[in-house]
Structure formats: C-alpha cells, structure tokens
Amino acid sequence: MRTLLVIGIGTGNPEHMTIQAIRALNTADVVFALDKGRAKADLVDLRREICTRYLTEKPYRFVEAQDPERDRNPADYGATVEAWHAARAAVYEAMIARELDPEGCGAILVWGDPSLYDSTLRIVDRILARGTLDLAVRVIPGITSVQALAAGHRIPLNRIGGPITITTGRQIAGGLPEGADATVVMLDGRPRFDHLDPDLTIYWGAFLGTPDEILVSGRLGDVAAEIGDLREAARTRHGWIMDTYLLRPPEPT
C-alpha cells in the first residue's frame, strides 16, 4: 500500500520544520507540489529548499503539477471551492498513481499546519472516498501563522481565562462576533477596518517567521492606514502576500 504524508512546514521559515517533520520527510520517495504560477513561485521554491536541506537520507523526486485555477470573487463561494477541491483531488490522484510505486511513500508539504484553514486533508479525503487508490495517510503537525504572529509580537493570544476566536476575513465583514475577546483573522485577501471599532488593538503580521517579516501593532484607528500601505507595497514587491492579525477590545476597567 502507498503511504502519503501530509506534513506541516510552518509559515515560510525552513527552521519551522519540527524534528518529527524532518524524520517523516526522510521516508518519502516522492514530494508532490502544485505550481501556482510565476507570481507565487516562492511557495514552491521554499518547498524545494526544505527538501534540499532536510531530505538527506535517501534519493527522492520532486514532482510538480499545475494548480487548477479558481474564481477569487465567485457569486457562490461554497460551490466554487467545492469544484476547486474536486479539481485538485483529480490532479493529486493522477500524480500519485503515476509517480508513486505501489509500496512507495509520498509527501505533500503544507504551509502552516494541515488542520487550520488548509484544504489538503479534505482533498485527500476525496481521493480516499473514490476508492481508486489504496493510501495510508499520516499527518504531521506544523507551526501555524497564528503561533508565529504571537511569537513575533511577543504576546499571549488570550487574556487570562479568555476565549480565542479564529476566523476569516469573509466572516467579519459584518463586524466581530458578539462578545469576542480575542479574534484571530486569517485568509483576509482584502482587509478593511473602517467598519470595526477604532479602539480595538490590532497585532498584524505578514511573511511571519521569515526575513521579510513585517509587524505592526497599536490602536486600530491609528495604524489601519499604515497596515494597508505596507500590505500593498509588500504584495507588489513579492507578487503575493500571506498575513494574519489579532484584534482585541480595550482592556476592561
């Protein structure tokens, strides 16, 4: 039976790789990656760098395929994502069947951690549900952007005894959840803050854990414009951006 490793690799710093992840990676015969195009070539390049640095115990092959396109501003978000996942599953299934021996071990390197706002495990479940390939799947956790954000700002995510909400930019378009004490926002492709309380404290970070890391914190009303400017400049410079932020209401008096 083929084995498929789904390995969390952290947020862009090769040193985010855990010892468990390195040991698992060194059992892989083939590493699979999806090419997102020239603008995001850095994402594949990092995966290659990780393999070159850490996959030292046996020969391996690095196999790429074109990532299926998807509409970034769909009328029906759920249906669009479902179709994209199905297309990705078909690509991965074809790669695994073609490139991995029946008793071989393959690996998919996942940005951050496979359990948090990543589609890879859902896509693997689609492959398993089809029943065409026999796969034994192992998941190795990684450092998330949420952890890297807190480390970068040198803060705990939660206040004493307080809850943490982890959500997406799409979900706070109408404001923060009622009673939210600490809200971490991910996957916010077009952040806007004008509908939020300007007295919130924001801890924002982009390219977390890497030499290109950018960190801004302060009263939202004071730093929102600065964050917008920095974000657009970084996107223009790199061709892509991954950022995360934490919002907190003022300390209770």
Give the three-class secondary structure for 48. helix
Average pLDDT, the chain: 93
Q: Specify whether domain 2-140 bears CATH 3.40.718.10.
A: no
Residue ranges per domain, the chain? Answer: 2-140, 145-248
Residues 109/21, Cβ–Cβ less than 8 Å: no
User: pLDDT at position 155, please?
Assistant: 97
pLDDT 10s digits, 63-74: 999 988 877 777
Q: In which order are the strands placed within the sheet that holds 165-168?
A: 165-168, 183-186, 243-248, 201-206, 214-219
For residue 152, pLDDT over 90 is answered with yes
What is the distance between the alpha carbons of residues 160 and 137, in angstroms, rounded to a whole number?
A: 38
pLDDT 10s digits, 97-150: 999 999 999 999 999 999 999 999 999 999 999 999 999 999 999 999 999 999
- Angle at 207 (CA atoms; ends 95, 190), nearest 5 degrees: 90
For residue 253, pLDDT over 70 is answered with no
Centroid of chain to Cα 118: 6
CATH architecture of 145-248: 2-Layer Sandwich (3.30)
Do 2-140 and 145-248 fold alike per CATH?
no
- Stretch 14-19: mean pLDDT, rounded? 96
If one compares 222 and 38, the residue with the highest pLDDT of the two is 222
| pTM value surpassing 0.85 | yes
User: pLDDT at position 81, please?
Assistant: 87
Count Cβ atoms within 10 A of the Cβ of residue 12 and give its class: 0-12 exposed, 13-18 middle, 19 or more buried: buried
